[in-house]
Amino acid sequence: MKLTAVELAYVRSLGLYITEKCDGCGKLLNQTVRYSIAGRPEVYCSTACRDRVFFEDEREAEKRASPGRCVSCRASLEGKRRRALYCDEICKKRDSRRAQPYLTAEGKITRTPTQRNQQLAEAKIAS
């Protein structure tokens, strides 16, 4: 992404000739080192920033960035199939549970006999 006029004036006052910033995080881009995604005009400051945008999820980018290592426990995946992400089912389940938000059950009013009895008891006390 091109720098705005104000940003460009500031960078030039520092004696730098930089005209672009990262489309992912906004850091100034070095003219010699640039990362991009094929078919897209955006440029990024690092592979991590590019992968975060490409995979649209930080966890997914982290998974794909370390081939040969288990996503959950970082153990070696030697002897596993080519596209394996986990060393065993335990790590796979652990990682899926870590990704899920904790759900809390809300109290639901039902018409069970015990609740009716409780309501009757409260009504007698109030009168």
How high is the pLDDT of residue 111? Answer: 62
Instruction: Dig out the tokens for 11 from the structure.
Output: 């960078």
pLDDT for 14 beyond 80: yes
Residue 103 to residue 45: CA distance in whole angstroms: 37
Least confident of 39-43, 86-90, 109-113: 109-113
CA gap 32, 81 in Å, rounded: 37
CB 18: neighbour CB atoms within 10 A? Answer: 15
Determine contact, residues 20/29, Cβ cutoff 8 Å.
yes
Give residue 100's pLDDT: 72
15-21 mean pLDDT: 85
Decide if 18 contacts 31 (C-beta within 8 A): yes
pTM exceeds 0.85, yes or no: no
